[in-house]
Amino acid sequence: MNAAPKTLRHLSELEGARLTPPEKRAALEKVAAQYAVAITPTVEELIDRADPHDPIARQFVPDPAEILVKAEERVDPIGDHAHSPVQGIVHRYPDRVLLKLTHVCAVYCRFCFRREMVGPAAQALTPAQLDLALDYIASHSEIWEVILSGGDPLVLSARRLKQVVSRLAAMPHVKVIRVHSRVPVADPARVTAELVRALKAKGKATYVVLHANHARELTPAAREACARMVDAGIPMLSQSVLLAGVNDDPQTLAALMRALVECRIKPYYLHHGDLAPGTSHLRTSIAQGQDLMRGLRGRVSGLCQPTYVLDIPGGHGKSPVGPGYLSRDQAGRMLVEDFNGGLHCYPSQF
């Protein structure tokens, strides 16, 4: 009887699965010693071993380039620590907080902005720390939305998730619970009816934001997992990261956004790659991102348009950095650019 497929976590397992060559072992050992590795059976099946530039492999298989750290890269690229009043909480914006329930993920992305803080060796919140984090939320009436993140909160059991959601549901000022996860595409079998029920709370709006970067990630099983949540009344949004060699061409990006909308998932954010250590080989320029967003406009449905954002290093939050469509001519008249690049005068006193 064959053993059930398991998540690949060690270089020897990656070599056995023909995902990394033995001759790169020495270089990859340095990577694996610093950054967590995990590739679920679902993700492994998606990797095209005949393609040396496979966009799925590029996201999850460690690369010797991760050892190269640029001067501008930071251990905490979006400044979580500067806005963490208690362990597990990031309170960057006035009306919402991030609650990092776990530091473990089903898979570990090679571009992760928290790559220095996540992995099996990272410490999860203790019960006492979780109590303090929830007490912080309870004592701050300006908090309207709580975002469950990590790590990936959907690696937790339905029982543990229900406990946290129930405690948040008891706080009158918390109206929205948002869950950020890669689990529906990385390990869709985890999205059980019990887990879906655990995410819902009477009188609160629950949203799930799926992280997906390539249309191939939306397998039939992933689509079914997402459908279980949407059919249960949980709206879904998406966040994607713009990645060199993964989704940095108009056709691939459009295919991803269309696939998400077909799954009843509204594209929300397209993130510019953060300045995480060892990720420069996966980052594009902002100008490339703006060109891609300009290419989407008018060529795919408005439902398929995410907001292109940059998380400002140092903890200053996200800013939209998409292309602009307004300018002025020499006479000071306002010009509006259409999706074909044509300019049109618009009468305006501003």
68-87 tens-digit pLDDT: 999 999 999 999 999 999 99
Query: Do residue 39 and residue 103 come from a single domain?
Result: no
**Residue 112 a catalytic site member:** yes
Mean pLDDT value across the chain: 95
**Residue 114 a catalytic site member:** yes
- Is residue 350's pLDDT more than 60? no
Domain range for 185: 81-320
In a domain, 103, yes or no: yes
Query: Do residue 186 and residue 296 come from a single domain?
Result: yes
- Is residue 308's pLDDT more than 70? yes
Query: Do residue 150 and residue 115 come from a single domain?
Result: yes
Query: Do residue 154 and residue 268 come from a single domain?
Result: yes
Query: Do residue 269 and residue 195 come from a single domain?
Result: yes
Q: What is the mean pLDDT of residues 140-167?
A: 97
- Give pLDDT, residue 2: 65
Query: Do residue 164 and residue 271 come from a single domain?
Result: yes
Q: Which of 54, 58, 80, 109 is catalytic?
A: 109
Q: Which of 112, 226, 263, 304 is catalytic?
A: 112
Query: Do residue 107 and residue 24 come from a single domain?
Result: no
**Residue 105 a catalytic site member:** yes
Q: Which of 9, 24, 74, 93 is catalytic?
A: 93
- Give pLDDT, residue 1: 56
Query: Do residue 135 and residue 45 come from a single domain?
Result: no
In a domain, 303, yes or no: yes
State the Cα–Cα distance between residues 97 and 88, nearest whole angstrom: 10
From the list 153, 110, 56, 142, the residue with the least C-alpha distance to 276 is: 110
- Is residue 299's pLDDT more than 80? yes
In a domain, 342, yes or no: no
330 confidence band (pLDDT: 50, 70, 90): confident
Q: What is the mean pLDDT of residues 248-263?
A: 98
158-182 tens-digit pLDDT: 999 999 999 999 999 999 999 999 9
- Is residue 95's pLDDT more than 80? yes
**Residue 318 a catalytic site member:** yes
Query: Do residue 124 and residue 44 come from a single domain?
Result: no
Concatenating the DSSP letter of every residue in 124-185 gives: PPPHHHHHHHHHHHHT-TT--EEEEESS-GGGS-HHHHHHHHHHHHT-TT--EEEEEESHHH
- Give pLDDT, residue 223: 98
Q: Which of 58, 105, 162, 266 is catalytic?
A: 105
Q: Which of 58, 92, 216, 283 is catalytic?
A: 92
Query: Do residue 293 and residue 156 come from a single domain?
Result: yes
Q: Which of 24, 25, 74, 96 is catalytic?
A: 96
**Residue 93 a catalytic site member:** yes
State the Cα–Cα distance between residues 119 and 114, nearest whole angstrom: 10
Rounded to two decimals, the pTM is 0.95
**Residue 263 a catalytic site member:** no
Q: Which of 100, 110, 114, 115 is catalytic?
A: 114
In a domain, 335, yes or no: no
141 confidence band (pLDDT: 50, 70, 90): very high
Q: Which of 54, 76, 248, 311 is catalytic?
A: 311
Q: Which of 274, 283, 304, 308 is catalytic?
A: 274
State the Cα–Cα distance between residues 61 and 39, nearest whole angstrom: 8
- Top-ranked range on mean pLDDT: pick from 64-73, 118-127, 328-337: 64-73
In a domain, 316, yes or no: yes
Which long-range contacts link 16-23 to residues 24+ away (Cβ below 8 Å)? 17/44, 18/49, 19/44, 19/47, 19/49, 19/57, 19/61, 20/61, 20/62
- Give pLDDT, residue 349: 63
123 confidence band (pLDDT: 50, 70, 90): confident
Query: Do residue 141 and residue 236 come from a single domain?
Result: yes
Q: What is the mean pLDDT of residues 313-334?
A: 92
Q: What is the CATH number of the domain that holds 107?
A: 3.20.20.70
In a domain, 341, yes or no: no
125 confidence band (pLDDT: 50, 70, 90): confident
State the Cα–Cα distance between residues 79 and 313, nearest whole angstrom: 7
Query: Do residue 304 and residue 155 come from a single domain?
Result: yes
Q: Domains in the chain: how many in total?
A: 2
In a domain, 167, yes or no: yes
**Residue 311 a catalytic site member:** yes
4-61 tens-digit pLDDT: 789 999 999 999 999 999 999 999 999 999 999 999 999 999 999 999 999 999 999 9
At 219, which amino acid appears? T
216 confidence band (pLDDT: 50, 70, 90): very high
**Residue 274 a catalytic site member:** yes
In a domain, 334, yes or no: no
